[in-house]
Amino acid sequence: MNKKVLIGLTSILIACNSIIMTTVTNATPEENIEKSTIQIKELDKQIVDLKDELSNLNGEISQLDTKLKENKEEINKTEDNIKSTELQITKRKKIIEEKQEVLGKRLGSMYKGNLYSNPLLVVLKSDSFSDAISNIQAAVKIISLDKKLINDIDKEKEALIVNIDELNNKKDELKTLESSTQNSLEEIKSKKKSQQDALSKLSDEKKKASSIIEENENSLISHSVSVINSSTSSESAIKEAISTLKSLLPQINTSSVKNKAQNAINKGTSTLQSLKESNSNKGNSNTGNIDRGSSPAKKTYTMEATAYFDGLLTASGLKPIRNPAGLSTVAVDPSVIPLGSKLYIDGYGYAIAADTGSLIKNLRIDLYMNSREECYNFGRRNVTVSLIAYPNEW
């Protein structure tokens, strides 16, 4: 395993150990939630990096698999050529043996006194001078052909040996290449397995951290859900609960909590329809959100306000949003305003105290905006903050 992968896995394991250590402290629920959101952000970055690394490894594995396939095809082709050459060798050996046999017989007959073994004997045996010349020429030609035959036999032997040696060398090279490629493939697969194990561990840790976020989100919607589920709730209370859930819905991360909130909204809407039909002669009740004046503030603060944007996750695990017609996100000092409280801010609207900040201390508040330009335009100013409801009261 290379150094880069080892360093990456080491940092991941350190991060996981850090996460485990932070969850075993005797922290308050608010501190646990905030720590969980920090852990999730860190884990998400680690997970993204791991997935990128796994994607690269999958690409390398694919390339090596293709290389192995091509190499295997080349080995098979070479082995077929070797078999074909071996067949040719067998056939040529037979031809060579036949030629050697013919040559052997001819040479044997010459040594036994055949007329072609002695040119003088050829002349004496001839019937005429012209016949003698013809016989001598024939004898010389036979001797020349025999020499050529011997040379051809030697060359064929040498060519076959060279051919088979070249093919065997090529096969050995291909086998070596195959072994090297296979080793590289196994090494990358081992890296991939290590990365997948690390990814699995990170995912498990994220689930643990997310369970704390899920618990907090369930707590945020519990009051409104209980109002809708209660058979004694008034029409206005149900409308308020529906409005609250609709405002919270875009900020919730956990799918199971989203489903629970949506089911409660559906149930509340159905209940309102039934109440409307049974009380058709009573006219419509007050609709929508609570007006600040209709529900007295538990506390009122004059705070120095700044603005921020571009966040993915708040300290309470919710998604930050800016919704002037609904519920926006603000960052507070939890020692002044508990996280999960419902606020009304003059000039900004309703908000949930869902986030914190290192500079947000005492009577400071940070209002979430949809762009940097909105933050610049807002600047820094004093605002009146009314605490409408504490956590689990709305």
Query: Does residue 243 fall inside a structural domain?
Result: yes
Would you state the structure tokens that stand for residue 244, as one six-digit string? 């609250």
Query: Does residue 143 fall inside a structural domain?
Result: yes
- How far is it, in rounded angstroms, from Cα 64 to Cα 185? 6
Question: Which residues on adjacent β-strands are paired with residue 306?
Answer: 366
Of 343, 337, 253, which is closest to residue 290 (Cα–Cα)? 343
- 261 and 190 together in one domain: no
- How far is it, in rounded angstroms, from Cα 72 to Cα 241? 68
- Residue 343: per-residue pLDDT: 97
- 20 and 118 together in one domain: yes
Of 30, 36, 384, which is closest to residue 208 (Cα–Cα)? 36
- Residue 6: per-residue pLDDT: 40
- Residue 94: per-residue pLDDT: 81
pTM: 0.56
Query: Does residue 45 fall inside a structural domain?
Result: yes
- 375 and 304 together in one domain: yes
Of 371, 361, 357, which is closest to residue 314 (Cα–Cα)? 357
Helices (H) and strands (E) in the chain, counts: 7, 6
Domain total of the chain: 3
- 210 and 234 together in one domain: no
Pairing mode, strands 299-308 and 328-331: unpaired
- 33 and 175 together in one domain: yes
- 298 and 376 together in one domain: yes
Domain edge (last residue) among 214, 245, 267: 214
- Residue 129: per-residue pLDDT: 62
- 207 and 241 together in one domain: no
Report residues of the chain scoring pLDDT below 70. 1-27, 29, 103-129, 131-140, 142-143, 146, 281-295
Query: Does residue 225 fall inside a structural domain?
Result: no
Of 299, 321, 265, 334, which is closest to residue 29 (Cα–Cα)? 334
* C-beta pairs of 225-234 under 8 Å, 24+ apart in sequence: 225/260, 225/261, 225/264, 228/264, 228/265, 228/267, 228/268, 228/271, 229/264, 229/267, 234/285
Rg, C-alpha atoms of the chain: 46
CB 221 within 8 A of CB 248: yes
Of 357, 347, 360, 349, which is closest to residue 388 (Cα–Cα)? 349
- Residue 112: per-residue pLDDT: 55
Instruction: Identify the residue whose tokens are 């409280």.
Output: 341
Query: Does residue 117 fall inside a structural domain?
Result: yes
Would you state the structure tokens that stand for residue 307, as one six-digit string? 């603005």
Pairing mode, strands 342-345 and 349-355: antiparallel
Would you state the structure tokens that stand for residue 172, as one six-digit string? 């050995």
- How far is it, in rounded angstroms, from Cα 84 to Cα 247? 79
- 67 and 89 together in one domain: yes
Range of the domain at 137: 1-214
- Residue 229: per-residue pLDDT: 95
Query: Does residue 223 fall inside a structural domain?
Result: no
- How far is it, in rounded angstroms, from Cα 334 to Cα 390? 12
Query: Does residue 77 fall inside a structural domain?
Result: yes
Instruction: Identify the residue whose tokens are 């956590």.
Output: 391
- 239 and 270 together in one domain: yes
- 54 and 181 together in one domain: yes
Query: Does residue 370 fall inside a structural domain?
Result: yes
Distances, alpha carbon 35 to alpha carbons 21, 208, 356, 357, in Å: 11, 12, 12, 13
How would you label 134-147 residue by residue, b for 16+ Cβ within 10 Å and e otherwise?
ebbeebeeeeeeee
- 300 and 258 together in one domain: no
- 43 and 167 together in one domain: yes
CATH number at residue 347: 2.40.40.10
- How far is it, in rounded angstroms, from Cα 359 to Cα 333? 9
